[in-house]
Amino acid sequence: MKRDPEAFLKDDMTELRKNNLEWIIRYLEGGSKPHCIVNGKEVLMLNTNNYLGLATHPKIIQASIDATKKYGAGAGAVPVIAGSFDLTREFQEKFAKYKEVEASLLCQTGFAVNSGLIPMLVGKPDIVVSDELNHGSIIDGVRLSGAKRVIYKHRDISDLEKQLKEAEKGGARRICIITDGVFSMDGDMAPLDKIVNVAEDFGAMIFVDDCHGEGVLGDGKGIVAHFNLQGKVHVEGGSMSKGFGVFGGTVAGSKDLIEFCTNKSRTYLLSTAHPPGVVAANIASIEVVENEPQHVKAVWEHTNYFKKEVQSMGYDTGRSETPIIPLIIGDPGKAQELARILFEEENIYGTPIVFPMVARELSRIRVQMNALLTKEDLNMALGSIEKVGKKLDII
């Protein structure tokens, strides 16, 4: 019998659908705003990483247009050959100053930062001590490194210290602690101040992925600024694609770190550089966050109000302490159904988060606040979430 080399594709998808684990992709027909057209339907969007609403900010859009007219649509090469422009240098200098570090680097994506830099920082003679709920890109980066990976319980400093003591006994060449700054599925923060205190006793390197903290925490500067730890965290990985509303991954730290990354990270070295219009938009985004503090203020006002209201209804929001507010349902089928009814009947776009992004029994709707939402938007959404939640016996 002749083998069908693609049969497993359909079989796997059938299994996913049967278990309510399929991801449904919907398509925006305009900018990423709270009120937008998705699949031909006007909806209220509650599921974007665009926390400050900067993806459609006129100053940022204009910067992109102007740079595209001057420099063209594409970079033409990887950064180290001919893909870096004077705009790139300007961004990196401005971002380093903003983050209060010596230097920074604009990389292709946040995922590329983790999968490209981690395998260069550590290898087989080393040990990585990693939070159990770290992002998949961190997990992939550590696997690629070949370093021994030790998991510590989520945000558990006593367990972290225990694992560090064991790592030190093992005679590792280097010990590297890696953690998300803000955990993207639960909206809780790493206790970075306590991590730093423990790490210093062991001479461990600290790598924090702050993709969901930048633009939101520390007046926009991220979790390191939130805890006043500038100079004590060795590697800050980040993203211009979320709070800053544009695109790209970042690394911030010492000049030595940035020179090392520039010469060693394969994802940085072997991927085409950003289009000049994107780099210019990133520059403008930093300027907007610095000069217009009302965006950060608004997203936190919305966060505090919305979270209080859904909790009073009986929704489980887990450990959330940021604009990421999970409505933890449990059963993936109910999470999918809640999202479907909200979209089809209530005109609210929320995404069900299911395995493998979270454990099957912790399926949820992940709501994310946006500075451009109004009190009327929030109240409308809250009314629908309460109505449908009761209909499905979730609350």
Confidence (pLDDT) at 24: 85
Confidence (pLDDT) at 170: 80
d(CA 32, CA 246): 11
d(CA 12, CA 106): 37
Helix (H), strand (E) at residue 267: helix 266-269
Confidence (pLDDT) at 21: 84
> What's the gap between Cα 167 and its chain centre?
28
Instruction: Please give the chain's pLDDT, 395 residues, in tens.
Output: 888 999 999 999 999 999 888 888 999 999 999 999 999 999 999 999 999 999 999 999 999 999 999 999 999 999 999 999 999 999 999 999 999 999 999 999 999 999 999 999 999 999 999 999 999 999 999 999 999 999 999 999 999 999 999 998 888 899 999 999 999 999 999 999 999 999 999 999 999 999 999 999 999 999 999 999 999 999 999 999 999 999 999 999 999 999 999 999 999 999 999 999 999 999 999 999 999 999 999 999 999 999 999 999 999 999 999 999 999 999 999 999 999 999 999 999 999 998 888 888 999 999 999 999 999 999 999 999 999 999 999 99
Confidence (pLDDT) at 383: 98
235: helix, strand or coil: strand
Confidence (pLDDT) at 355: 85
Confidence (pLDDT) at 174: 95
d(CA 181, CA 236): 9
d(CA 298, CA 242): 16
Confidence (pLDDT) at 251: 98
Predicted TM-score (pTM) of the model is 0.95
Query: Which two three-digit tokens encode residue 66?
Result: 């102007």
**Cβ(174)–Cβ(234) under 8 Å?**
no
Contacts 24+ apart (CB under 8 A), 154-163: 154/183, 155/131, 155/188, 155/190, 155/191, 157/191, 157/194, 157/195, 157/198, 160/129, 160/195, 160/198, 161/198, 163/129
**Cβ(108)–Cβ(274) under 8 Å?**
yes
CATH number of 7-56+294-391: 3.90.1150.10
Supply the residues annotated as catalytic: 184, 212, 242
Confidence (pLDDT) at 219: 95
Q: Which CATH code, of 3.30.565.10, 3.40.640.10, 2.60.40.10, 3.30.420.40, is assigned to 58-291? A: 3.40.640.10
Counts of helices then strands in the chain (DSSP H, E): 14, 13
DSSP per-residue string spanning 79-142: IIIII--HHHHHHHHHHHHHHTSSEEEEES-HHHHHHHHHHHH--TT-EEEEETT--HHHHHHH
Confidence (pLDDT) at 360: 87
CA dihedral (104, 105, 111, 117) in degrees, to 10, reads -90
Give the strands of the sheet with 363-368, arranged side by side: 324-330, 363-368, 351-353
Please provide residue 367's backbone torsions phi and psi, each rounded to the nearest 5 degrees: -95, 140
What is the residue extent of each domain of the chain?
7-56+294-391, 58-291
